[in-house]
Structure 1
């Protein structure tokens, strides 16, 4: 929660200013609505991040089940779904090249898919499956944070190679950094989430085996 709030406090203000000059992503010439759609994506994504933190908090879920259900609806319909759809559009129009575009589009589709699957499982009262899908959704929701961390890391690592590997082409280096950061930013958290789920399932299977032995 602390990390999410700090990230939002840093990332959100430029997009609430309504000033395209403050955008941290340059708008492509071929897509004039880019800044508006990016700003809305950031706003809805911020809602998803804050509500998601409350949703995965075991104490909060156990003590306030009604609030958990209400906030869950906000997370899905006021956060992930609009942010995911807008992210899909913004991803297609990214100025950072085809590698980043492929990552952004894949991430948006997966984010929408796992979130809708989690919501459907809750509607069907299949709460074990609901929890599994929502852990995946949480990993993708928070992947923007790891994306930014990787961006900083790769800038530090690759900037000394600007005149050699990238032949002085800043745009090529930026596209390379973006491509690496976008893919690693969500793939690794999703793999960690899957490892966490499989680890828990394996522990349950061992416990059942001991009880029946």
Structure 2
């Protein structure tokens, strides 16, 4: 009797579970913080008036144009980064996610080049220059490596490099946190002195240098912890998705 060959049809993969907002509780606060930062920082530069700049602009003819380009492109970059980190958008509108990713990469490259130029005119000496230059180089490198990885369809590597790039990109936001904290700790008298600056106050000088390092080092360390946290924790997260 002839035998029949029965080919089993593989079961269809179950659709991915929706990621509930409470499993990503950081996206809403991040969006709010970004909006507040842009609303308070960007208007000073929209009119292209150097006298409204938060930092002194008498550092050569290249400084202010590079600063404005850095701030405008950085505003686009931060907005695109929030969209990139939004799980609901990535799951339900992948096309928008891809386009916001392209916007992020392009604006990040312009922002990084602007930061590299601006960092050559430090307000707090050589250590300040080194901190900001190293930040700009790492930020550009992580962004380029992330873009290269996705072009080569190495999506796991792409995710890791873009997490690092985004963490470094938000260093400017973190800097606004570290400066008042460090002033309150090391130079509380400067809080009531409107004339205190890095030029006439050594404590403010030290605060500017320390904040320049902390703002991106802490962010990068957090990104590395996030990427390499214990597998058990990551497994629980994956099962909950």
- State the TM-score, normalizing by the size of structure 1: 0.87
How many residues get paired? 199
- Structure 1 residues 97 and 120 mapped into 2: Cα distance closer, same or farther (>3 Å)? same
Match of 2:19 in 1: none
Query: 2: CA distance between counterparts of 1:45 and 1:130?
Result: 21
Corresponding residue of 2:36: 6
Q: Which runs of 4+ in 1 moved over 6 A?
A: 204-207
State the 1:160 CA deviation: 4.4
Q: Secondary structure at the match of 1:199?
A: coil
Gaps of 5+ in 2: 1-30, 191-197, 237-241
User: Does the C-alpha gap of structure 1 residues 33 and 11 become closer, same or farther in structure 2, counting only changes over 3 Å?
Assistant: same
Deviation at 1:181, TM superposition (A): 0.5
Q: Which has the higher helix share?
A: 1
- Please state how far the C-alpha of 1:172 moved relative to its aligned partner: 2.7
**Equivalents in 1 of 2:163, 2:73: separation in Å?**
19
SS state of the match for residue 170, structure 1? coil
Aligned 8 A contact 1:38 1:86 in 2: yes
Cα distance in structure 1, aligned partners of 2:139 and 2:199: 33
Q: In 2, Cα distance between the equivalents of 1:80 and 1:46?
A: 10
Residue 158 (structure 1) shift: 2.2
CA distance in 1, matches of 2:188, 2:53: 26
Distance 1:111 1:160 in 2: 32
Stretches of structure 1 that go unaligned for 5 or more consecutive residues are 163-167, 208-213
Q: Distance in 1 between matches of 2:119 and 2:235?
A: 43
Indicate the SS of the match to 2:144.
helix
Shift of 1:100: 1.2
Aligned residue number for residue 95 of structure 1: 123
Q: 1:2: how far off?
A: 1.1
